[in-house]
Structure 1
Amino acid sequence: MTGQEEPRSAEALMRSRFAAFKAADAAWLLRTWHPSTRPKRLDLSENPRWRGLQIVDVVDQGADAGVVEFRATYLDDDGELGILHERSRFVREASRWFYLDGDLLG
Structure 2
Amino acid sequence: MEMRNEFKKEVWHKLTSDERSYFIAFSQHHGIPTNLIDVTTSPLVALYFACEFNEPLEVDKEKELGFVYLFEDNFIDITNILTKFKDEIFLDLYAYNRNNILFDLSNLA
TM over 0.5, shorter chain: no
TM-score with structure 1 setting the length = 0.27
Asked which structure has the greater RCO (Cα within 8 Å, sep 6+), the reply is: 1
Between structures 1 and 2, the one with greater strand share: 1
Between structures 1 and 2, the one with greater helix share: 2
